[in-house]
Structure 1
Amino acid sequence: MAYFRLNLLISCFIICFTSSVNSSVCFWNSGCPYKYFAGKTPYNSVRGDIRDSVINVKGCEAVSIWGLYKHGKSYPNNHYAAKMEGAVIIRNYLQDSQAKGTCSLCAQDVENLKNWPIDKKVFKGLNELSDEGYQEMVGLGRRLRAVFPNLLGNLEQGEYSFRPTSVDKIEDSAKAFIEGIVNKGLELDKEKDYVMASHTTCEKYEKEVKSNSKTYEEVVKYQKSSEFLVTKDRIQRRAGLDVALTDDNVTALYDLCRYTWSEIDNKPSPWCAIFTSDDLQVLEYLEDLKTYYRSGYGTPMNKIFGNIPLTDLLKGFQEAKEAKGKKITAYFSRGTAVDMTITALGIFKDEKPLTGAKRNRDRKWRSSKLSNFGANIMAVLSKCEKEGATDYNVVFYLNEEPIKAICNEAICPWTEFEEKMKEYSDTKLDFCKTD
């Protein structure tokens, strides 16, 4: 498998390199389009496959699954939808600039944009789960059922917990996940607690982090950097526009690219033709700076909120060991909760903080792979019988791939797991109230 992936990567490099040498760089026939769009990356662009990656230890059987899931791909809200709809007019300018010879996009790319069928749902500001997002979550549920048929095959009342926060697209994601598990009669928890979104009820977080301009200082700094300004200029020149693009213009075009990309159908968005791979990497870093400080390592408070899910995980598995727990506990929330939990675990942490002064190309904090659409952190508790003795172990997964950074070879013996999780158990949120 590793050999196959290596050869596929080499082949992809050769195709891209050859096309860039022998002809103009055209998006429509590129064999390797860049498809990492920060938090708006489709799940199927970055996920693993639990059916291939599951870690099975001889003599062990899964007895409980705990998971935190971001909602699947969704439509934009009113704010972004309106700006995206306004940016569609650029199609007309592209045709004019092509006629003048000032547009460097390939003719087929311009034609594809001209003929792009408008999906009215994208511009209605629905902020709801898309059809692709629903399929993403159904697929995840099906793969889990395929790997753990004995555990998830016949769930009865009291053996499961599917708990979304009170947002339509998140509830629909949970329903799709259940559909994938194919258990008739399974219901969502009626109690809408905020175990996985405690930050949303914290006044201090809202005031000092989310709504604080200081949180985005590195973002603003990067938008003024030579690299970002060169990127804006390159986009403008590539499109042959006479008017200088604003930051909002660039964001709207970027959103058109990433919201209209379908990975389920393997259909790259023609709007992405406006950007080079370098442009998309710059825009991705801008988004990474936002999440790094708003929900990641850049702000100490974020780790505290990430402790809450891990406390729940430990409690759930302790109960499962005593045969009093759930076979599956699944929480559904936003990408912010996933970011915060990753931060609490201390994984994917860069040695130096991300800054707007210079893009860290080799950074570990990549929202495209950490809090993409459908992003998930799962832990599987297994009961092991060996030479008449009973023991337990835990394996963590991120987007269906084992997380090896937590324990040796991704397998945590129970004592090590319990010791690691206990540090989160004393978390208090009494600091949240502000005067």
Structure 2
Amino acid sequence: MKWQLAGSLGLLLALALVNVQVDVKGYTRSLATRVLGALTSPTSHFTDLETSETSDDEDAEISDTSETENSDTSETESLETSESEDLETSETESSEMSETEVSESGVYNYEGTEPLDLTQKLMDSANKKEEVRNTAGSEYCLSEDDDPYTGFATMTPYRIASTPLKADDVIPAGCKPVQIWHLIRHGSHGAHRNDYIKFEDELPHLRRRIFRARVHWKGQLCEKDLELIKLWKVSKMMSKTGNLSKEGVEEIAGLASRFKSVFPGLLEKKFSIKRHPGDGNKIAFGTGSQNHQSAVAYISRMYDAYARYVPVGSQPSKTLQFYDYCRNYIEGVLNMDKKLKPYHTFMSGGIMNSVLQSVSERLGFPVTVANVRVMYNACRYYYAWYRNKVSPWCTVFTPKQLKVLEYWEDLRVYHDQGHRFEINSKQACVLGKDLMDQFRNRVENGNTELYAASYFVNPEALVTFITLLGLFNDEEPLNEFYVPKTRMWKTSQFAGFGSNLAIMLSSCVDDSFWVSALLNEKPVQLPGCDSSLGCPWNSFIQYYDYLSDCNFDELCGSFSSQLAQSRHWYASYMNEQWM
């Protein structure tokens, strides 16, 4: 009987001890969860973001409730898992407990040691994570870069690509300019509709993901760059497709001012009853309000108070839109199977995958090519619109990544408008013929009625004509397998917003004529000329005689009504074929 009683008491005592241990461990884990949750909760920096997002109508419309709940649930589970791992790690690092006592303050008492505060242990763990993250992200911070990379391919603002204009650089001694043929790309403008839709739909979601990743100690963006993304709003992105930005107006107006100042004898005219403002200046523009507005900005600054008397017209020139009417070009180059286009294979190659991996590490979550493309366009548009401001979405990329993305677009333009196919440049013969006819009319016929031609065009016209002249032709064609260390074909230098090519004809004291060229107000050496100063007229026509040979219909094929109805084919092509 005594043995039975003793056994029963022993069993009860054992059960009591087990319950105490279970309760202690449960209390300990509950305490750890609360402490670590407080440590990893968003600071006021993130709380402000959530508040701004809640009040931001454009963000609220885009958010998906079910998706957010699922994301939050998975993140909560992830956080609980990390909490358990942190606790288990701290328990492993400490010595084995021979006897566990828990005070009311929740402090472990280890045998032979001083009490250890669990809160301090977890704070140290969190600080170590922050130190590692800061070390990893310290490699690049755009907000602290005094000389950031600004080569944004065809969306490079003109202030980056232009250089101070000097007459002596292109006009030899004993000569004076008598005629200018000026091909000008429009200034920076509001985002294309397809781009703006993507900005509106995707960027707020990407921004939320950036800060959610930050809460979990993921990502490498510095605090200043994060602040820029936090303050960014969709309303900062111009939604009026085609309308020039303020910077775009100044890009074109400033161009007119500088040319008039450097070549006053050519461009400043005295007006009378016989000579009206605009007489002698052939002005035309391509399709799109950005080209018409560029023409207006140019004329306003060129003629100042007399600008209202200069006829601009409202109808775009079909000649300046030649690439819209060249069937063989559209069907043979643009509509080619995307699998045969190098910039599509580049998109899925190792170089681009490296960019995706690097950007994913910087943001703290996996990104796709489509994610990168929309952030890159937002980066470029914003930088073009706002002078002296850091573009928030440019913080996503390092200079090395921007160079790869620049090459990606260079590869596309090289294929579609560059030296990749002969028809790319040959279709621009309509512009070459126009140039040669005007200059020949003065040199050979003595006609002085026309002194300027000012054409405002889309980049397709400018780039194909530059290609026709033989400029920026690398010995080794651009390809999708690697990014060359040096190359001549860089659209950032000749095809950005406001980029322009001026061909000038000068008369000299010995009754000869001289031809020179300016690209973005910088002298450029034309093939066939010995220097960037230019060359005599006879040398010019000997080399460029092919410019006058232009049978557009024979080259491009018949133009059908079906092709005419698809005026927006190119926007669809850019949206569906490239991305």
Please indicate, yes or no, whether the TM-score normalized by the shorter chain is above 0.5.
Answer: yes
CA 1:192–1:260: 2 relative to 1, 3 Å:
closer
CA 1:192–1:98: 2 relative to 1, 3 Å:
closer
Aligned to 2:258: 143
Is residue 297 of structure 2 the alignment partner of residue 168 of structure 1? no
CA 1:53–1:250: 2 relative to 1, 3 Å:
farther
Give the Cα separation in 1 of the matches to 2:550 and 2:486.
Answer: 32
Give the Cα separation in 2 of the matches to 1:373 and 1:249.
Answer: 24
- Aligned 1:260-409 pairs, distance under 5 A: 260-262=382-384, 265-321=387-443, 322-385=446-509, 389-406=510-527, 407-409=529-531
Aligned to 2:351: 227
Aligned to 1:198: 322
- Give the CA deviation at 1:133: 0.8
Secondary structure at the counterpart of residue 317 of structure 2: coil
- Give the CA deviation at 1:22: 12
Deviations 1:25-71 (A, max 9, x none): 21101011111111011011111222477423222111111011111
Identify the match of residue 211 of structure 2 among 77, 95, 115: 95
Aligned to 1:417: 540
Structure 1: which 5+ residue stretches go unaligned?
1-19
CA 1:24–1:245: 2 relative to 1, 3 Å:
closer
Corresponding letter in the other structure for 2:438? G
Deviations 1:60-102 (A, max 9, x none): 1111110111111112211111112223222222222222211
Aligned to 1:211: 335
Secondary structure at the counterpart of residue 462 of structure 2: helix
Is residue 267 of structure 2 the alignment partner of residue 152 of structure 1? yes
Is residue 181 of structure 2 the alignment partner of residue 66 of structure 1? yes
Identify the match of residue 247 of structure 1 among 366, 369, 380: 369
Deviations 1:187-242 (A, max 9, x none): 2256643333311112222222223235862011111211110101110111011x
Deviations 1:247-292 (A, max 9, x none): 2111100011000014762223021010011111111111011100
Corresponding letter in the other structure for 1:81? Y
| Bigger Cα displacement from structure 2, 59-68 vs 180-189 | 180-189
Give the Cα separation in 2 of the matches to 1:92 and 1:22.
Answer: 19
Is residue 200 of structure 2 the alignment partner of residue 77 of structure 1? no
User: So what's the TM-score if we normalise by structure 1?
Assistant: 0.89
Corresponding letter in the other structure for 1:181? M
Corresponding letter in the other structure for 1:176? A
Aligned to 1:13: none
- Give the CA deviation at 1:377: 0.9
Secondary structure at the counterpart of residue 365 of structure 1: coil
- Give the CA deviation at 1:308: 2.1
Deviations 1:111-149 (A, max 9, x none): 111012543552x35232222111100010100010111
| Bigger Cα displacement from structure 2, 315-324 vs 98-107 | 315-324
Give the Cα separation in 2 of the matches to 1:296 and 1:78.
Answer: 26
Give the Cα separation in 2 of the matches to 1:319 and 1:37.
Answer: 39
Is residue 236 of structure 2 the alignment partner of residue 114 of structure 1? no
Corresponding letter in the other structure for 2:487? R
Structure 2: which 5+ residue stretches go unaligned?
1-134, 561-579
Give the Cα separation in 2 of the matches to 1:175 and 1:358.
Answer: 43
Aligned to 1:257: 379
- Give the CA deviation at 1:312: 1.1
Give the Cα separation in 2 of the matches to 1:193 and 1:270.
Answer: 38
Aligned to 1:12: none
- Give the CA deviation at 1:24: 3.8
| Bigger relative contact order (CA 8 A; separation at least 6) | 1
Give the Cα separation in 2 of the matches to 1:208 and 1:42.
Answer: 31
Corresponding letter in the other structure for 1:384? C
Aligned to 1:56: 171
Contact 2:517 2:526 in 1 (8 A): no
CA 1:158–1:182: 2 relative to 1, 3 Å:
closer
Contact 1:262 1:268 in 2 (8 A): no
> Identical aligned pairs, as a percentage?
28
CA 1:130–1:213: 2 relative to 1, 3 Å:
farther
Is residue 161 of structure 2 the alignment partner of residue 38 of structure 1? no
Contact 1:215 1:294 in 2 (8 A): no
Q: Which runs of 4+ in 1 moved over 6 A?
A: none
- Is the helix fraction higher in 1 or 2? 2
Aligned to 2:299: 178
Give the Cα separation in 1 of the matches to 2:518 and 2:420.
Answer: 24
Aligned to 1:10: none
Aligned to 2:248: 133
- Give the CA deviation at 1:401: 0.7
Corresponding letter in the other structure for 2:536? P
CA 1:42–1:246: 2 relative to 1, 3 Å:
same
User: So what's the TM-score if we normalise by structure 2?
Assistant: 0.67
Deviations 1:146-167 (A, max 9, x none): 0111221126443111100132
Give the Cα separation in 2 of the matches to 1:191 and 1:418.
Answer: 32
| Bigger Cα displacement from structure 2, 365-374 vs 424-433 | 424-433
Secondary structure at the counterpart of residue 396 of structure 1: strand
Contact 1:129 1:173 in 2 (8 A): yes
| Bigger Cα displacement from structure 2, 344-353 vs 183-192 | 183-192
* Count of residues in Structure 1 that have an aligned counterpart in Structure 2: 410
Give the Cα separation in 1 of the matches to 2:240 and 2:168.
Answer: 37
